[in-house]
Amino acid sequence: MKRFRPVCLLLALLTGCVGTKPKPAEEPNPFALPAGAPRNVRIGFVQGYPLSSLSVPVHLLPGTLVEDKMIVISRDPRLNPTAVLEITGVRGRIAVARIVRGQPQPRDEVVLPSTDLSERSQELPP
């Protein structure tokens, strides 16, 4: 038993000396909470559509209520706005939205706009 004590002590000292590199600080995203959770209310996702189309289908999340003429914004995985959309019709869990500005991509997240997101989306091409 006395022979194992120095071996255990040596192992504890060796494993305790291992250092970890600090994570590089990431630039904060103005459209996300500090923990990385988006602060805009997600209502759905853009479905596949012909890119020449002026309207896009939006697959609504369960429990989401939208109305005609409601303005929503699509954004990419980096939370940057890709398009401003106006809801023109709802059929079950699919909303049809007219593209007002920008060009949404399939699978883009669709959210209710905040002040910051609305201002940033005005930079998109018409």
- Domain range annotation of the chain: 39-126
Sequence-distant (≥ 6) Cβ neighbours of residue 86 within 8 angstroms: 69, 70, 71, 72, 97, 98, 100
Beta bridge partners of 52: none
One digit per residue, pLDDT tens: the chain, 126 residues? 566 666 666 666 666 555 555 555 556 555 555 555 557 899 999 999 988 899 999 999 999 999 999 999 999 999 899 999 999 999 999 999 999 999 999 999 999 998 888 888 888 988
Contact 62, 43 (CB under 8 A): no
Rounded CA separation 46/99 (Å):
11
Rounded CA separation 86/57 (Å):
11
- CATH number assigned to the domain with residue range 39-126, chosen from the 4 options 2.60.34.10, 2.40.10.170, 3.30.450.20, 3.10.450.40: 2.40.10.170
The whole-angstrom distance between residue 31's C-alpha and the CA centroid of its chain comes to 9
